[in-house]
Structure 1
Amino acid sequence: MSSKQPHPPSDNKTSSGLEMADSDYKYLAKPPSACCFAGTIHKGTPRGNVEEILNVPTYVVKPSEEKANGHVVLYFPDVWGISNNACLLLDGFADAGYLALGMDYFRGDPISKYRLSKNDPLPEGFDQAAWRTKHVAFATENVPKWAAAVREKFGSDKTKYVCVGYCFGAPYVCQMLATDEVSAGAFAHPTLLREEHFTSVKHPLLLSCAEHDHAFDTEARRKAIDILQREKKVYHLQLFYGVSHGFASKGDPDNPYQRWCKEQSLRGIIDWFDLWLVKS
């Protein structure tokens, strides 16, 4: 893409019509920034398909009949959207027995639309705040509707649901965990989280975190854990030494340690879901 790509409109309203300036809120996990746009594109051929659910493109990948556990993972992507990396992670959840669905709330407008490759700068004049506000408003309003449509299309009386979000997707994990629509959730290297996101969760939450994370630094992470402990929430913290924001979805697989961290994050999240759904 060249710098001639159209820029997102400067709409600073949320879906409720309220102004949404970053300065209006005290974030624990800061809004997406340059650290969220970097990373490594992973190699591999996804095996799922894209379907329209409530007019939202959705990556759907089914487990094998031998492994299927009857439960569903709702996946909320980072700013790269339903990228090859996201699809391969979704395939990993399917390998563990889950029907996995990834919501493309960017609807064809991820950050990668404005860059030819992961090393390209964003176009001059690109309005990151306007891009973010536009998609936050859509996702906040439509995640519950999309999840309900997934339940109607794929669920049964015995189906249980869990949710996972990376970076931009973290708030929607907390949004779902504040309801009784899911049994557990997890996020990795989150952004856009406020204290209310932690006080409102009703179900078990796993936090998969990087030691060096500009968006969710040590002070913010410790404050989040303090809130979870004070409010007597069920949680588990993974903290990976030496890695930075994006490690769980965009780490370099050619680096043995980064690859291990990425794989351990996914394995830990799957084990967390299994505990609350399959093994309990």
Structure 2
Amino acid sequence: MSCPDCFKGSTHEGQPRGKVIELHGLQTYVSEPSNDKSVRGIIVIIPDAFGWEFVNNRILADHYADKGGFRVYLPEFMGGHAAPVWMMDTFKAISTGGILSKLYNAPSAIYGMVPFVYYNRPGRSYPVVKSFFHALRKAEGADLPVGAAGFCWGGKHTVLLAADEELVDGKRLLDAGFTGHPSMLSVPADVEAMTLPVSFALAENDMAVSIQQAEQIKQIVEGKPEAQRGEAVMYKGCGHGFCIRADATKDDVAKQAAEAEDQCIRWFNKHFGLS
């Protein structure tokens, strides 16, 4: 279900400025534009394995709110079973250490990974995600455009939402989607099934999506009818998780993570009719 790279990366410094509310039955981090501008649309972040409390995900929500003028929701879709943040150190030790380090850290990796994998498999988690979007579209999203931004684990759910043709008061669950380095995709089937426009930010060195699969994704989404047409952008030299867990000390990777943020904002501006 998840590759080892799903649990690697860096924690970012910063203090999230949003607040936590209960929304449609889920604890939700919410961030609004800090410049007092009126909200122009809604973005729901469907996070990576580290979930809604992970500081990187909350900081990203703040960035989207300020850059795009959006209300950004980051719900607790995982029911308390997000991967623990200490797993990043564990997997780093496994990947960089010798045989003794691997043997020593392997039990901890399994201990942290198995509950996440078991409780958050798409067959179990997608109904939770869909239910939230259904309620959101009926309430806050009745008069505002709605987008889903999914990363790693969340990317699969964004793609599933883009293929889900259920209507709420005559509208789809969302207007458009964005995904950074998605995992668990069935390529080409999941991508071919999408009937809403989705923008992909793909990493060149990604265990979850190979170069060949990335090329397939690009060909499929850019070949769809205009109303469904997506895009796929390849970020050279980046690995899985770069949108969320990039090492801020590495200029090239940090720069490309910021470019992926801008890609997301441009995409929603376009499909929310704001550009």
TM-score bin (small chain) = 0.7 to 0.9
Contact 2:221–2:231 (CA<8 Å) still a contact in 1?
A: no
Q: Cα RMSD over matched residues?
A: 2.3
Hey, which of these two has a bigger chunk of helix by percent? 2
Equivalent residue runs for 1:165-244 within 5 Å: 165-178=150-163, 179=165, 180-194=172-186, 195-229=188-222, 231-232=224-225, 233-244=228-239
Runs of 4+ with deviation above 3 angstroms: 113-122, 127-131, 229-233
What is the SS of the residue equivalent to 1:51? Answer: strand
Percentage of pairs with the same residue? 22
Amino acid at match of 2:32: K
Distance 1:230 1:151, change over 3 A: closer
Match of 2:137? 151
Q: Residues 151-209 of structure 1: CA distance to partner in whole angstroms, max 9, x if unpaired?
A: 345334x3110111000001211122223221111101110111332122122111101
Contact 1:75–1:90 (CA<8 Å) still a contact in 2?
A: yes
Amino acid at match of 1:190: P
Consecutive unaligned residues in structure 1, runs of 5 or more = 1-30
Q: Supply the distance in 2 between the matched residues of 1:116 and 1:275 (Cα, whole angstroms).
A: 35
Q: Answer yes or no: is 1:40 the counterpart of 2:26.
A: no
Using the size of structure 2 for normalisation, the TM-score is 0.82
Alpha-carbon deviation of 1:113?
Answer: 5.9
Consecutive unaligned residues in structure 2, runs of 5 or more = 94-104, 166-171
Amino acid at match of 2:160: Q
Distance 1:167 1:116, change over 3 A: closer
Match of 2:64? 93
Contact 2:247–2:254 (CA<8 Å) still a contact in 1?
A: yes
Match of 2:262? 267
Q: Supply the distance in 2 between the matched residues of 1:54 and 1:277 (Cα, whole angstroms).
A: 23
**Equivalent residues, number:** 249
Q: Supply the distance in 1 between the matched residues of 2:26 and 2:85 (Cα, whole angstroms).
A: 17
Alpha-carbon deviation of 1:62?
Answer: 1.5
Q: Supply the distance in 2 between the matched residues of 1:116 and 1:274 (Cα, whole angstroms).
A: 33
Distance 1:124 1:47, change over 3 A: closer
Distance 1:116 1:264, change over 3 A: closer
